[in-house]
Chain A
């Protein structure tokens, strides 16, 4: 039965090809097509003009820069919030641990669109946050349709993707190791910093990789909380396709995002692998 592996992986391969590779290839071809404002994309005629525009126009530079800046900030905040959260979670006992894990994962059970609308209600000029600040004699602040709103909502969405890998690497830790450090006169804080943290670093780094990648390509949150003016790359792609009807330019922007995202993630991964492979395997 030499052909068995092929048959078994057939359905998945078919699905993968049909739903990912073919559309991706078509998008790649589309991004090189000539665009005519009157008739749309012209099949069979090719140009590099769209890429020249994406790489040459400061408008696009700004949007890419903003996207990666927001994504990096979201990843950083997720590390600062999610890693301690995972540590606390790992020190909890059941049934508290199961309950808290559910709380951490709960955001994944609600549609991202619903959550984005929830945040827009909380952050709006008449929302709960401004009402609370008003009661303290502060504000009102403009929160909705700012980068702040996008970052807050993205952190909320992405946090589980940070907590889970960190939690997994904490689970792998030998509980005796912290005791060993204590027995060698290390303070609890030093133990955390010198012994626990370096060992969960691979988890933190892979979590930040996932968060960064998902944030950089996120669409619903910046679309709903960034408004018409504050654009990220995914919302620009949407605009090019559905408002400007310039499909080739949209395709070029989308592929540039894909390539940039891939480059950042592969570079990051290589950096991490090189540092931790020998010691932690």
Chain B
């Protein structure tokens, strides 16, 4: 029995289904991200776990206790809101102390716990300030300290980093992971940012139209996406229409490609997915196919090329390792390792993919 267990959880708003038959087990101490585009039901799922939205059907259990219909203020979960939802009329330390006060903790112990929580997020110096006197990143840390100080069994994070600017967001990602490791709290995070989900989660739940379409370790989700949607939502992918052509090979237009992905019927329509960074340039004529560079974009650490080939335009991502970059109009060979490509079922709608 896992620590936090969702069984067949379903949510209807009137006739429209926001979350459909979602089942998920989260182990103690695990960091799980719900990843998906807006409107996929990830926030609704979090709201149901938190107790802010009633569950239409299904069951939510925490440590063996059924909390499906428990009131929000009896669940004792720590929540960090997207807007942080700090109490603006209270100082930082009063904000953090509020949850302990509600638990009628003696004052001396309370002060000590608040001090420890603020130290954990490096905000000792700002205890006496009001939220509006803090920067976005500092408010984020206060919200985190407020949620963690009550030592919740589960920490829920609702798009915690979406209101921060890019550099701070990256910094906070690792900070968040450090704190989570240090405290060891079971954590469920909602995010639409695949990079964020990949870099800090133990497992990622990809959601599409109210359904979980893949639940896996970040690297599995990236390297073995189960649907066309996942392969393009999580990272970029070159998707080529193909037909299975005997054992271990597919036919893409004029090109026969050997793959190590089996389990598809010969003759079945499939999609060949190759990540742009798995493609590499080789001298013309020596790769799997040749192409002509149509466009190139400088991304700092990498170059992104659009290459016209016999099977269509391909994106190729090369590290900026000091070698001379290819010019537009230049011809080049393209190659990839056999394990670098994936076969996906061709255009199956998201509903039936789960």
Chain A residues with a Cβ under 8 A of chain B: 174, 176-177, 179-188, 190, 194-195, 198-199, 276, 278-281
B87 at the interface (CB under 8 A from A): yes
Among B50-88, those with CB < 8 Å from A are: 50-52, 71-79, 81-83, 85-88
Supply 10 further A-B pairs (C-beta < 8 A) apart from A179-B79, A180-B146: A174-B83, A177-B86, A179-B52, A180-B81, A180-B87, A182-B72, A185-B99, A185-B150, A195-B87, A276-B89
In the bound assembly, the distance between CA atoms of A176 and B84 in angstroms comes to: 8
Beta-carbon contact of B130 and A279 below 8 Å: yes
CA A35 to CA B41, docked complex, whole Å:
80
* Cα distance A188–B79 in the bound complex, in angstroms: 17
List chain B residues, Cβ under 8 A from A187: 73
Residues of B within 8 A of A194 (CB): 98
Greatest chain B CB density within 10 A among A182, A188, A194 is at: A182
Min distance, Cβ B294 to any Cβ of chain A, angstroms? 47
In contact, A177 and B132 (Cβ under 8 angstroms): no
Q: When the two chains form the complex, which single residue of A179, A181, A198, A278 contacts B98, counting CB atoms closer than 8 Å?
A: A181
Q: Is the interface of A mostly helix, strand, loop or mixed?
A: helix
Known: A279-B130, A281-B132. A183 touches B79 (CB 8 A): yes
Contact status A184-B102, CB under 8 Å:
yes
Q: B288 within 8 Å of A by Cβ? A: no
Once bound together, how far apart are the Cα atoms of A213 and B66, in whole Å? Answer: 56
Q: How far is the CB of A93 from chain B (nearest CB, A)?
A: 14
Task: Tell me if B103 is interfacial: C-beta within 8 Å of chain A.
Answer: yes
Q: A176-B85, A199-B89, A279-B89 are in contact. Are A186 and B73 (CB under 8 A)?
A: yes
> Please, which residue of chain A has its CB at the minimum distance from the CB of B73?
A182
Shortest CB-to-CB span from A173 to chain B, Å, is: 9
Chain A residues with Cβ below 8 Å from B77 are: 183
Query: In the assembled complex, which residues on chain B have CB atoms less than 8 Å from the CB atom of A176?
Result: 81-83, 85
Q: Which of B83, B88, B150 is A280 in contact with, Cβ under 8 Å?
A: B88
CB proximity of A151 to chain B, nearest CB, Å: 32
In chain B, what residue has the closest Cβ to A191? B73
Tell me the complex Cα distance, A209–B103, Å: 37
A selection of 8 A-B contacts at a CB cut-off of 8 Å is A179-B52, A180-B146, A182-B51, A183-B50, A183-B77, A183-B147, A185-B150, A195-B87
Question: Given A180-B79, A182-B72, A183-B72, are A190 and B102 also a contact pair (CB < 8 Å)?
Answer: yes
Q: Are A177 and B52 in contact, CB atoms less than 8 angstroms apart? A: no
Q: Tell me the smallest distance from the CB of A148 to a CB of chain B, in Å.
A: 37
Interchain CA distance A188-B73 in the complex, whole Å = 9
Q: Which residues from chain A contact B147 at a C-beta distance below 8 Å?
A: 183
Q: Which 9 A-B pairs have the closest CB atoms?
A: A184-B99, A176-B85, A180-B85, A185-B102, A176-B81, A198-B89, A182-B73, A183-B79, A182-B72
In the bound complex, CA of A198 to CA of B90 (Å): 10
A185 and B130 CA atoms in complex are apart in Å by 22
Contact with A along B86-100 (1 / 0, CB 8 A): 111110000000110
With A184-B98, A184-B146: A179-B72 Cβ-Cβ less than 8 Å: yes
